[in-house]
Amino acid sequence: MPHHPTIAPAACALRPSVFASLASQLRTLERPPIPLHLGDAYRAPPEAARLERAAARLPANGYAYANPVGLEPLRDAVAARCAEDGLPGLTRDHVHVNVGATGAIQTALATWLQPGDEVLVCAPFWPLVKGMVLALGAVPVEVPFYARLRRGETVAAVLAPHVTPRTVALYVTSPNNPCGTVLTADQMQDLADFAIARSLWVVADEAYHHYVWSPHQHQFLAALPGMATRTATVFTASKSYALAGVRIGFLCGDPAWLDAARRVATHTVYNVPLVCQLSALGAIETGAPWIAETRALYEQARDLVVQRLDAPFDLPMGGAYVFADLGADLGDKPMLEFLSDLLRDGVSLSPGDAFGRDFRTWVRICYTSAPLADLATGINRLNGALERLRRSATATLGRPRTGTNG
């Protein structure tokens, strides 16, 4: 109980956002860079999601408080769409409308965790989850996960050494942000077996489930036997329908705990704006062709980066990112210095250490946040910067390049 002016240790533990250290430089640039650092979408959302339309559809009491658990037609539409997508059995009682996937994940963790609890965080991971666990006074345990699974190791072999009596929950994301791994049905089954055997809650961050590249397929974790009661399935209009700014995410789970989660959310934000919920409803009602079209465009974008990028990475099976290791070329150059140089070249990327402590030499490249031509220019500039690093290293040290594409 430190008093004013000391703030809570858990709040102190939060780091500035991923890109904060470069943000001041970003503001001084004459022209904005090609923005490949944030998980945004260059595509306009579906017409039926436009906010002008949502505003025009507001009921007479549309400026009053709304149902804090979410609009019933929206929760019904989410449940119906989930059944089509491979997660059957949901009703409106299993769906809570939240402030983006961010709000949904924070709500689930705040419902389950008490201070000192440990959470297995499969790495690399979506950056905010680590801070969320810390802010609750709990302990995020980073587990190098996706690369080891790609190398054929089993879920149990990778996770088991990190479990303690204090381990109560696990955070997994598939398709993964940042590395694009899509877990196979067998791996998801292994994960389910593990969670059940260890009595774990699971956040299944499936924000990118609509964006999986052939021949891979998404398996909802909660659809596996025994998982419906222990899984928070999270996805979001932000990623499915390019509506990040509208802040509508979905927390789906068993009413046995979701009812408590609803109360946590009510005590955090009360309700989510009705106009935003109507936007998301318009997207879900009409958005299937839009998703198909967008999926094709994003897969082209993935292919473009995969074909051009001159640095090692694992092939993305889904999602919106290529996660690449620049370690071989960076040498002693600090990552932030490299990214700062790259900003001057007109490209912004996210530094890898936001995604896990083992990724200091990595960068995340978003391939959905700029049109194809800009993306190509961005990758060319990145390649140019890497080439300069190599030439300079060869000139001064005679050091040959190492590393191969994955």
Residues between 195 and 224 with contacts to a copy of itself, criterion CB under 8 A: 199-201
Judged by CB under 8 A, the stretch of 204-212, 216-224, 270-278, 330-338 that binds a copy of itself is 270-278
Least distance CB 44 / a copy of itself (angstroms): 7
**Interior angle at CA 194, CA 362 and CA 179, nearest 5:** 15
Q: Which of 44, 157, 197, 292 binds a copy of itself (CB under 8 A)?
A: 44
Q: What angle do CA 224, 231, 67 make, to 5 degrees?
A: 125
Whole-angstrom distance, CA of residue 302 vs CA of residue 350 = 17
Three-state DSSP state, 322: strand
d(CA 208, CA 250): 13
Residues 137-156 that bind a copy of itself (CB under 8 A): 137
Build a one-symbol-per-residue string for 4-23: x at contacts with a copy of itself by CB under 8 A, - elsewhere: xx-xxxxxx-xxxx------
Assess contact for 345 and 385: CB atoms under 8 A.
yes
| Rounded CA separation 44/25 (Å) | 28
Using the contact rule CB under 8 A, the part of the chain among 84-92, 130-138, 296-304, 383-391 near a copy of itself is: 130-138
CB 330 within 8 A of CB 17: no
**Shortest Å distance, C-beta 293 to a copy of itself:** 17
The footprint of a copy of itself on this chain (CB under 8 A) covers a number of residues equal to 84
Among 87, 122, 132, 222, binds a copy of itself (CB under 8 A): 132
Binding of a copy of itself by 263 (CB under 8 A): yes
Strand 347-348 to strand 34-35: parallel, antiparallel, or no bridges (unpaired)?
A: parallel
Which of 25, 26, 51, 73: binder of a copy of itself (CB under 8 A)?
Answer: 51
Find the binding residues for a copy of itself in span 234-253 (CB under 8 A). 242-247
Residue 253's closest CA among 296, 221, 293, 292? 221
End-to-end CA distance of the chain: give it in Å, rounded.
50
Residues 97-116 that bind a copy of itself (CB under 8 A): 99-100, 102-103, 106, 110-116
CB of 210 to a copy of itself, least distance (A): 17
Contact residue for a copy of itself among 66, 141, 281, 342 (CB under 8 A): 66
Pick 55 or 296: Cβ nearer a copy of itself: 55
Count Cα atoms within 13 angstroms, Cβ side, for 192: 19
CA 109 – CA 307 distance, rounded (Å)? 39
Amino acid in position 84: E
Which residue lies nearer to a copy of itself by CB, 123 or 243?
243
Residue among 12 and 157 whose Cβ is closer to a copy of itself: 12
- 293, 367 Cβ separation under 8 angstroms: no
384-403 binders of a copy of itself (CB under 8 A) = none
To a copy of itself, the closest distance from the beta carbon of 245 in angstroms equals: 5
